[in-house]
């Protein structure tokens, strides 16, 4: 007989059930008040020009994030922002729009800092295809530079539909707002563009070529908001600032890695865009591959932007190409259908407003990938992302190999659970590590303990919005968290075989009910290897 730590007895035949219900105990972390390093770079004066300033993203994210930086004294006093858009706004109209967004989203408001920030906002309206619009922008910038004494930095932020990127860039140059050599006053000019960076390899190459006519790569900031999240940034420090992890971060000790981005929402107001994109283009090509690169790349020679980005590109180039003859064994796509969630009816994807009636666009993708290099040879990476899933959750889970031999087999514990390290990215950012340990009580009394680190609980504050980090780095000229041209094109090249096969309708598009955690075809992708997806449903 085996006695457990609750003083109940189990026969050896009951051990399997006992192991499945082992009590998990969380070990709460503490923080050493002696900070090793805590440094922030405050950028110099910048004129921040936002195209698409009357749009939704600018209101929800951009203006709020820039205000937060201002409220934290991380912007130069001479900073100002010029909004540009098609909608006819006065400076006052634009400031009222900004104030409404900031009051709804920000918790750092005081009468003084809000009024001071709003006074730095200006607006000019016009048609993006009209060359005179850019001349008026140039004249307004010259006027505002004199008022705010900004003579060094100019940032162009394109918060517009991707088809407008070339139009705006090609009009900036003749107006003297792009090519540094044409400007006599401003020496640091930057261009920020939102994803998608093309829709496939040819379009990405074409877009890069057009932008490079007047901006060199050192001036281009391709923004991926996932890379601004604290836990994603923490991957570098977690891996390369601790000697305890690097020796086991390889094929000798790691069994497999899972990367999951599950979204509980549907396509909402993005249906017209999403139906032309799908999960592969919208999430997989950028967010997921960038996280894969960070968790698997080699150590850079220094904490500098291009050194880090060099290693990310090397990693992406090491990913094994998808074999089109075995694609159904490596990749699964799905589309959510009508269901009920907590008693409420939820439309299927084809019933969403703005979606084509016969659409084959995938809302879910799961893939099995391998990295052909010395560190990762033979280790599978399982990636999945989907809309209308059971929960909203993003995580990277590193599952280590099980102990090769259990000395506890004589009492029925012939196989012990694997250690799992989880990097939680959303909704609650943090890190957890599970391992086995003896519990007080019986001679053989073991359970899984979890060391759990939560940013919210430990630091008693919400991590900064990802856009804050990225916008600050952009103004400071730090490209570490921004995607480089070669990384973009390598990612598209890797996914081209999948896109071509799906466009030719050669592989099944599975259905899954809205609110599901998974579905059989996606499960089979990992279970055929004797593994399982991590459960996302919360207790």
Query: With b meaning 16 or more CB within 10 Å and e meaning fewer, what string describes 353-387?
Result: eebeeebebbbbbbbbbbbebebbeebbbbbbbbb
What lies within 8 Å, CB to CB, of 539 at 6+ separation is none
Whole-angstrom CA distances from 446 to 14, 19, 266, 301, 318 are 15, 9, 42, 42, 40
In the block, which residue shows the tokens 């891996």? 239
Reported as a single tens digit per residue, the pLDDT across 7-20 is: 344 444 454 444 44
Are 256 and 379 spatial neighbours (Cβ–Cβ below 8 Å)? yes
Q: CA triplet 85, 86, 91: central angle to 5 degrees?
A: 55
Distance, C-alpha 270 to centroid of its chain: 18
Are 335 and 510 spatial neighbours (Cβ–Cβ below 8 Å)? yes
Reported as a single tens digit per residue, the pLDDT across 298-312 is: 999 988 889 999 999
Q: Where does the pLDDT of residue 430 fall: very low under 50, low under 70, confident under 90, or very high at 90 and above?
A: confident
Query: Cis bond leading into 256, ω under 30°?
Result: no
* 388: DSSP letter: S
Helix, strand, coil share (%) of the chain residues, nearest 5: 40, 20, 40
> What order do you get walking across the sheet with 188-194 strand by strand?
121-125, 80-85, 46-51, 153-158, 188-194, 220-223
Cα–Cα dist 187/477, whole Å: 12
In the block, which residue shows the tokens 């490079």? 212
* 506: DSSP letter: -
List, by residue number, the catalytic residues.
Answer: 287
Q: What is the phi/psi pair of residue 62, to 5°?
A: -65, -55
Distance, C-alpha 226 to centroid of its chain: 2
Write 439-445 long-range contacts (CB < 8 A, 24+). 439/5, 439/23, 439/25, 440/5, 441/3, 441/4, 441/5, 441/6, 441/7, 442/2, 442/3, 442/4, 442/5, 443/3, 444/2, 444/408, 444/411, 444/413, 445/3, 445/4, 445/5
Percent of the chain with pLDDT over 70: 86
46-226 maps to which CATH number?
A: 3.40.50.720
Cα–Cα dist 234/1, whole Å: 46
Q: Domain-by-domain residue ranges, the chain?
A: 46-226, 227-399+484-527
Three-state secondary structure of 31-93: CCCCCCCCCCCCCCCEEEEEECCCCHHHHHHHHHHHHHHHHCCCCCCCCEEEEEECCCCCHHH
Q: Is the pLDDT of residue 283 over 50?
A: yes
Q: Where does the pLDDT of residue 3 fall: very low under 50, low under 70, confident under 90, or very high at 90 and above?
A: very low
**Could you give the count of Cα atoms lying within 13 Å of 56 in the half-sphere of its Cβ?**
3
Q: Where does the pLDDT of residue 460 fall: very low under 50, low under 70, confident under 90, or very high at 90 and above?
A: low
The conformational region for residue 258 under phi > 0 = left, psi -120 to 50 = alpha, else beta, is beta
Query: Cis bond leading into 426, ω under 30°?
Result: no
In the block, which residue shows the tokens 């998974």? 518
Cα–Cα dist 305/120, whole Å: 30
Report pLDDT for 30. 55
Report pLDDT for 8. 44
Reported as a single tens digit per residue, the pLDDT across 105-142 is: 777 777 788 999 999 999 999 999 999 999 999 999 99
Cα–Cα dist 505/417, whole Å: 41
- Which pTM value belongs to this model? 0.87
Class of domain 227-399+484-527: alpha beta
Between 485-503 and 289-296, two packed helices, what is the crossing angle to 10 degrees?
A: 130
The chain-wide mean pLDDT, for the chain, equals 86
Cα–Cα dist 352/348, whole Å: 7
Reported as a single tens digit per residue, the pLDDT across 186-244 is: 458 999 998 889 899 999 999 999 999 889 999 999 998 888 888 888 888 888 888 88
In the block, which residue shows the tokens 């201002």? 70
Report pLDDT for 12. 45
Report pLDDT for 187. 56
Which of 19-28, 259-268, 325-334 comes out lowest in average pLDDT? 19-28
Token digits of residue 330: 């490596």
């Amino acid at each position: 007989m085996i006695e457990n730590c609750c003083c109940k007895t189990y026969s050896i035949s009951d051990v399997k059930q006992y192991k499945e219900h082992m009590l998990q105990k969380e070990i709460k972390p503490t923080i050493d008040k002696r900070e090793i390093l805590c440094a922030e770079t405050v950028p110099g004066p910048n004129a921040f020009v936002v195209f698409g300033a009357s749009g939704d993203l600018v209101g929800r994210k951009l203006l709020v994030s820039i205000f937060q930086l201002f409220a934290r004294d991380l912007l130069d006093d001479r900073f100002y922002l010029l909004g540009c858009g098609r909608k006819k706004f006065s400076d006052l109209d634009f400031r009222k729009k900004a104030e409404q967004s900031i009051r709804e989203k920000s918790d750092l408001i005081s009468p003084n800092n809000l009024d001071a920030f709003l006074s730095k906002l200006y607006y000019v309206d016009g048609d993006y295809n009209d060359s005179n619009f850019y001349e008026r922008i140039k004249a307004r910038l010259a006027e505002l530079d004199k008022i705010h004494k900004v003579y060094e930095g100019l940032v162009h932020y394109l918060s517009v539909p991707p088809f407008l990127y070339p139009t705006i860039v090609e009009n900036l140059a003749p107006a003297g707002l792009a090519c540094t050599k044409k400007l006599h006053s401003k020496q640091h000019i930057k261009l920020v563009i939102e994803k998608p960076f093309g829709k496939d390899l040819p379009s990405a190459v074409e877009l890069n070529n057009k932008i490079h006519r007047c901006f060199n790569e050192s001036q281009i900031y391709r923004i991926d908001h996932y890379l601004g999240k604290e836990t994603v940034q923490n991957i570098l420090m977690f891996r390369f600032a601790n000697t305890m992890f690097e020796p086991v971060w390889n094929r000798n000790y790691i069994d497999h890695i899972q990367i999951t981005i599950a979204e509980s929402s549907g396509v909402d107001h993005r249906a017209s865009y999403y139906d032309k994109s799908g999960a592969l283009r919208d999430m997989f090509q950028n967010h997921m591959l960038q996280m894969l690169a960070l968790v698997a790349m080699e150590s850079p020679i220094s904490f500098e932007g291009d050194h880090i980005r060099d290693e990310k590109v090397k990693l992406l180039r090491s990913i094994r190409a998808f074999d089109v003859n075995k694609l159904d064994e490596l990749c699964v796509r799905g589309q959510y259908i009508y269901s009920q969630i907590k008693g409420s009816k939820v439309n299927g994807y084809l019933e969403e407003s703005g979606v084509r009636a016969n659409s084959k666009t995938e809302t879910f993708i799961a893939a099995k990938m391998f990295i052909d290099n010395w560190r990762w040879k033979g280790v599978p990476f399982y990636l999945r992302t989907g809309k209308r899933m059971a929960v909203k959750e993003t995580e990277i889970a590193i599952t280590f190999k099980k102990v090769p031999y259990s000395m506890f087999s004589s009492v029925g514990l012939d196989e012990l659970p694997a250690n799992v390290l989880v990097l939680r990215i959303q909704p609650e950012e943090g890190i957890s590590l599970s391992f086995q340990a003896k519990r007080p009580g019986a001679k053989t009394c073991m359970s899984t303990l979890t060391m759990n680190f939560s940013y919210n609980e430990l630091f008693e504050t919400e991590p900064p919005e990802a856009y804050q980090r990225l916008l600050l780095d952009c103004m400071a000229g730090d490209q570490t968290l921004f995607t480089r041209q070669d990384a973009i094109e390598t990612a598209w090249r890797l996914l081209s075989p999948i896109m071509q096969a799906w466009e030719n309708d050669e592989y099944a598009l599975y259905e899954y009910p809205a609110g599901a955690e998974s579905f059989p075809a996606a499960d089979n992708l990992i279970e055929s290897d004797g593994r399982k997806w991590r459960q996302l449903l919360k207790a």
